[in-house]
A and B are shown apart, each in its own frame.
Chain A
Amino acid sequence: MRQRKAIADAIGPIWEANHVWLILVIVLLFTGFPAGFAGMMTALNIPLTAMLIGIVLRGSAFIFRKYDSRSDGAQRRWSTVFGIASFFTPFFQGLILGALTTGKIRIVKGQVMSGFFAGWLTPFALACGVFALGLFAFLAATYLTLDTQDQPDLQNDFRRRALWSGLTLAPIAGVVFLASKQGAPEMYDGLTHWWAPLLLAWTSLTSIVTLVALWRRWFALARMAAISQVTLILVGWCLAQYPNLVTPDLTVSNAHAPEITLRLLVLALGAGAIVLLPSLAFLFYLFKGKESR
C-alpha cells in the first residue's frame, strides 16, 4: 500500500485545484453550447451519474484517508474505496465520450428521442471506456516514476506498471479503431482522413519514445513524451469528431449559444486565464518544485 501513499503524496497539494478543470469544462459546455449540454446530460444521464458517484467517492476517500488520525484498517478501507472509484470514473468517462460519437443518440428539436440507454452500451463505447482506463493508468504510472525518485523500489514498481499499461494501450487502441467501423461510422470516417496517418505516426512515435524512455529509466523524458502522447490522442479525437458534439444531430454550429454569449465567454476565459494560470504555476512551483529538489 506504499503505492497509494505515493499517489496521495504526489497529488495531495493539487487535488482541489484539479477540480477547477472539471467545473470549468462543465460551465463552458453549459454556457457556450447549451443545446449540447442539455442533450448529453439527458441522453447519458445514467453513466454520467455513475461517473459523478465515482468522483464523489474518490474525493471523499482521498480526504478521509489523508486526514484520518490513525493509519490502521480504516485507512486501508479508504484506499480500497479510492482504488475502486478510480477504476470506474475514467472507465465511465471513456464510455461517455465514445457514446457521443456512436450516432445512436438522436436529438430532434432539443428532445432526446433515443431513450436513456442509447450509445453507451455499445461495444464501441465499452472499448472507449477500457481505452480511457488504460490511458489514465499509463499516464499516472509514468508521472509517478518521477515522484518516487527517493524510493527506488516504488519507482521500479511504477515503471513496470507504466510499461505494461503502455504496451496494452496499442492493442486496445486497435480494438477501438476496428469497433468504430461498425459502432461509430462517422468517427471511423474522421479517423481515415488524410491527416489521420500523419497524426497516428506522430502519436506512435511519442508512445515509442515514452516506452523506450521508461525502459532506459529516463523518467523526465518519459513524462514529457507521455504528456504529448495523450495530448495527441485528444487532438486526434477532437479532429475526428469535429464538427459533431453529439453525432449526428448536434454540431458545433447548431448547438452553440447566441454570439454575444460566446464573445463574452471568450473574454471571461481570457481574463480568468490571466489569474488562474500564474496561480497554478505558483502552486506547482511551491509543492512540486520543492519535492524534486
Chain B
Amino acid sequence: MLALAAWSGWCWWKRGPLTGHPRLLCALVAAGPLGFVAIEAGWIVTEVGRQPWIIYGVMRTENAVTPMPEIVAPFVIFTALYIFLAFIVFFLLRRQFIETAGPVSETSATSTHA
C-alpha cells in the first residue's frame, strides 16, 4: 500500500493527472481490499499473539471466560447475523452500483478524452 502511494505520488508529480495511467488505476482497484486485510491482520496479531493471556502477565484467558454454559449459541447467532448483514450489504452495494453505473462510465469516458 505504501509502495502504491509512492507510485501514485510519483506519477502525479512527474506525469500529470492520475487518470492517464491505466496500469496504476488497475493496481489501485486491486489494492482496494488491502486496507481490510491490514486491519484484520493487525487484530489477529494482537489477539492471537497475546494468548494464553487475556491481560498480558496478569490474567489467563481460561480464567476470564464466562461461566455461562452453551456459549456456542450466541457465537452461532452473531456469526449468522453478521453473515446475513454482509450478504445484504453485498446485495445493496450491487444494486446501487448497477443503478449508478450509467452516469459514472459517462463521466470517466469524458474525463479520459479531455
Contact = CB atoms under 8 A, between A and B. Distances in A.
Given A69-B100, A70-B95, A49 B74 contact: yes
A69 B88 contact: no
B92 A42 contact: no
B68 A116 contact: yes
B96 A111 contact: no
Given A67-B92, A68-B92, A69-B95, A112 B81 contact: no
Interface string A269-288: 00000000000000000000
Nearest to B74: A49
A42 B85 contact: no
B47 to A, nearest CB: 18
B67 interface: yes
Contacts of A64: 88-89, 92
Given A49-B74, A60-B85, A64-B92, A69 B99 contact: yes
A112 B67 contact: yes
Nearest to B95: A69
A257 to B, nearest CB: 14
Contacts of B88: 60, 64
Contacts of B95: 68-70
B66 interface: yes
Contacts of B99: 69-70
A63 to B, nearest CB: 9
Nearest to B64: A38
Interface in B75-97: 77-78, 81, 85, 88-89, 92, 95-96
Nearest to A59: B85
Contacts of A42: 66-68
A170 B6 CA distance: 66
A43 to B, nearest CB: 10
B75 to A, nearest CB: 11
A56 B81 contact: yes
Interface residues of A, number: 16
A45 interface: yes
A42 B81 CA distance: 22
Interface residues of B, number: 15
Interface string B41-74: 0000000000000000000000000111000001
Contacts of A41: 66
B78 to A, nearest CB: 8
Interface in A42-100: 42, 45, 49, 53, 56-57, 60, 64, 67-70
Given A68-B92, A69-B99, A53 B77 contact: yes
Contacts of A68: 92, 95-96
Contacts of B85: 56, 60
Contacts of A70: 95, 99
Contact of A69 (B68, B74, B81, B96): B96
A64 B96 CA distance: 11
Contacts of B67: 42, 111-112
Contacts of B74: 45, 49
Nearest to A45: B68
Contacts of B81: 53, 56-57
Interface string A233-262: 000000000000000000000000000000
A53 B96 CA distance: 26
- The 8 residue pairs across chains A and B that have the minimum distance between CB atoms: A69-B96, A69-B99, A45-B68, A49-B74, A60-B85, A68-B92, A42-B66, A64-B92
